[in-house]
Amino acid sequence: SDVTFVEIDPDTYDPVDGGSCLYLASATIDVQPVDAGVIDAGAVDAQIAQVRADSVSGTTSTVTIQGAVITYVKPLVAASVLSDGGSNDPAGFFIQGSASGPGLFVALDPATLPGGPYAVGDLVDITVSTVGQNVGLHQITGITSIVRQSSGLSIAPTDVSSASFFDTGVTDTFESKYV
C-alpha cells in the first residue's frame, strides 16, 4: 500500500508547513511496541544473580533490577496455621528476567508497596536496599523504589521433569523460579 511520511512538530504534533515529506509507493513496515527490545533479559538475570550473591555474603545490596517479571504473588501465611507455630511466613512475590535465569523472592507485600498492588505479569524496576536469607531462601527484604513499567507479560515455566533434586546444587538452581 502507499505510505506517506510527513514531518511533525514535536510540540504541537501538527504537520510542519514546508517540512520534509517522503512518499513510498509500496512499503512493508514492521511495527513493534514501544518497549519491544528495551529490556535485556540477560542483564536482568545478572542483576538478580548479583542480589542473590549479596544475600549470601550479607552485603547491603544497592542493585537496581531493571525489567524483572513478577511470576507469582504469595499471600501472607499466618503463624497460627504453620505446623511449627513459628512466625508469620511473609507475603511477597517472585521475579525473574528470563525462563533460563535465576529467580528471587521479594519479601514485601505487593499490595502495600508504592504504586501497588502488583500482580503476576507486571514488568518492574526494583532498587534494592536490603537483602538476606530465610531458611536458605535468597530474598530482598527492603527496597528504595519499585516502578511498574508494563503488565500482562509472562515467562515460560522451567521444565524440571528430568531434574534430580537429590543432586548437590540442584535446589539452588531452581530456587524461586517459575516451574
pLDDT digits (tens, 9 = 90+) for 90-142: 899 999 999 889 999 999 999 999 999 999 999 999 999 989 888 888 889 99
d(CA 51, CA 137): 12
pLDDT of residue 114: 94
- Higher-pLDDT residue of 76 and 71 is 71
Report pTM. 0.72
Nearest by Cα to 68 from 109, 122, 137: 122
pLDDT of residue 89: 76
pLDDT of residue 30: 44
Q: Helix, strand, coil % (nearest 5) of the chain?
A: 15, 30, 55
Looking at the DSSP assignment, which residues form a beta bridge with residue 152?
A: none
d(CA 146, CA 154): 19
